[in-house]
């Protein structure tokens, strides 16, 4: 099988992220593909937006063979049969008959699994089979540390092509990167802006001013010069374009050293909470907001219980999830716990709760989605 171009030469192609944090924008994905030259779209089943990406790719007019589609398998789908089913489900939602890359999303698995090592190895073997069948062109992992990679490497026939992890100057896992490099595993970085938290750092700002660039462009450029494919994500069109305009300036050796020596104190993804999220029954895409109204059929919030009588838990929770997001009063964890409890509520009771809440709160200006 031919090597994937961006894996060997990350400067040749821009990667566009679609994580559920910060919402999903149909217009941003179309703009990235059609007007900014992005060709690698990174997503995941867990993000809940695969079906919307399919519509965006179609709307962009960019031929399928020019788009590098990468998605991920959530830990609750690990296993020989369930991983194949999850893969097929992602292909169906993305409206494709093959994927360019498929990743294991996290090394953690459900708490009820007795032999976690065996499950990871079995799941990886399933990805190898999909690769042999040419249903996917590259396979890899995400958020794997050295000890997790060792489990895969112990039994694998195909070494992971990629390990996708958080990567920015304030979270630069040098030992993990070297571990991957020594085994010909491409290290790929998400959250290059540290979810915006790195943009105000005085050192980053000073370098940006010296080049007449934005702090975001400096951070993405740092990833490029570190030979790490970067996955910036934005729903703002001006930021989408700016994040791709990082190939006409070069950071000096001194500037690279400054960024490489930043204190490693900023982590955007909390590994300690991941087990709870994996064991949590929340549907995929539960954090998404800002889905264009055109993609959501929404009844009036004043609809009666009878009018909502035929609706499922998932649809009603979609409504309540949107209002919780609009309130903005809750932490992500508390928000998740609220929805988790509502999932246990009998449908008839949930219909009453939904009607009462939605008639007492103003209609949000943007749609929200809670996918099944």
Q: Which of 31, 38, 47, 102 is catalytic?
A: 47
Q: Are 301 and 358 in contact (CB under 8 A)?
A: yes
Q: How far is Cα 170 from Cα 266, in angstroms, rounded to an integer?
A: 5
Angle at 194 between CA 188 and CA 199, to 5 degrees: 125
Q: What is the reported pLDDT for 266? A: 84
Question: What's the DSSP call for residue 1?
Answer: -
Q: Judge residue 225's burial from the number of C-beta atoms within 10 Å of its C-beta, 0-12 exposed, 13-18 middle, 19 or more buried.
A: middle
- Domains of the chain plus CATH, in order, are 5-266 (3.20.20.100), 280-368 (no CATH)
pLDDT tens sequence for the chain (372 residues)? 334 444 433 334 466 666 656 678 889 999 999 999 999 999 999 999 999 999 999 999 999 999 999 999 999 999 999 999 999 999 999 999 999 999 999 999 999 999 999 999 999 999 999 999 999 999 999 999 999 999 999 999 999 999 999 999 999 999 999 999 999 999 999 999 998 889 999 999 999 999 999 999 999 999 999 999 999 988 889 999 999 999 999 999 999 999 999 988 888 888 888 888 888 767 888 776 544 444 333 333 333 333 333 344 554 555 555 555 555 444 455 555 565 566 666 655 655 565 555 555 543 433 332 222
Q: Is 16 helix (H, G, I), strand (E, B) or coil?
A: strand
Q: What is the pTM of this model?
A: 0.77
Distance (Å, whole) CA 104 – CA 109: 11
CB 263 within 8 A of CB 219: no
Q: Which of 285, 292, 313, 282 is nearest to 371 (CA)?
A: 285
The whole-angstrom separation of Cα 246 and Cα 217 is 6
- Nearest C-alpha neighbor of 268 from the set 140, 102, 143, 103: 143
Catalytic site includes residue 190: no
**CA gap 275, 232 in Å, rounded:** 26
CA trace torsion 233, 234, 238, 242 (10° rounding): -20
Are the beta carbons of 255 and 207 closer than 8 angstroms? Answer: yes
Can you tell me whether residue 90 is helix, strand or coil? Answer: helix
């Amino acid at each position: 099988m031919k090597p994937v171009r961006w894996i060997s030469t990350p400067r040749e192609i821009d990667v566009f992220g679609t994580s559920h944090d910060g919402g999903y924008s149909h217009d941003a994905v179309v703009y990235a593909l059609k007007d900014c030259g992005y060709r690698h779209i990174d997503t995941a089943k867990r993000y809940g937006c695969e079906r919307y990406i399919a519509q965006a790719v179609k709307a962009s007019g960019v031929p399928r063979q020019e788009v590098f589609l990468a998605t991920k398998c959530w830990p609750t789908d690990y296993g020989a049969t369930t991983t194949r089913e999850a893969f097929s489900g992602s292909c169906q939602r993305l409206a494709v008959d093959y994927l360019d890359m498929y990743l294991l999303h996290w090394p953690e698995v459900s708490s009820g699994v007795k032999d976690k090592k065996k499950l990871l190895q079995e799941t990886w073997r399933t990805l190898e089979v999909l690769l042999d069948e040419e249903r996917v062109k590259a396979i890899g992992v995400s958020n794997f540390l050295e000890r997790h990679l060792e489990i895969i490497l112990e039994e694998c026939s195909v070494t992971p092509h990629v390990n996708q992890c958080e990567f920015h100057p304030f979270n630069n896992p040098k030992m993990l990167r070297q571990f991957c490099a020594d085994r010909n595993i491409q290290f790929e970085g998400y959250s290059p802006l540290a979810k915006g938290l790195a943009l105000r750092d005085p050192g980053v700002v000073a370098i940006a001013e010296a080049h007449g660039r934005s702090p975001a462009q400096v951070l993405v450029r740092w990833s490029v010069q570190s030979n790490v494919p970067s996955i910036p994500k934005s729903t703002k069109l001006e930021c989408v374009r700016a994040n791709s305009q990082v190939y006409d300036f070069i950071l000096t050796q001194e500037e690279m050293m400054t960024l490489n020596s930043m204190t490693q104190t900023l982590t955007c993804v909390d590994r300690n909470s991941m087990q709870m999220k994996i064991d949590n029954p929340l549907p995929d895409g539960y954090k998404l907001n800002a889905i264009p109204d055109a993609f959501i059929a929404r009844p009036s919030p004043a609809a009666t219980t009878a009018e909502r009588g035929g609706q499922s838990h998932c649809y009603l929770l979609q409504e309540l999830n949107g209002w919780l997001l609009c309130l903005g009063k809750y932490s992500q964890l508390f928000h998740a716990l609220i929805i988790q409890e509502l999932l246990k509520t009998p449908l008839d009771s949930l219909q009453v709760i939904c009607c009462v809440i939605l008639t007492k709160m103003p209609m949000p200006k943007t749609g929200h989605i809670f996918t099944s």
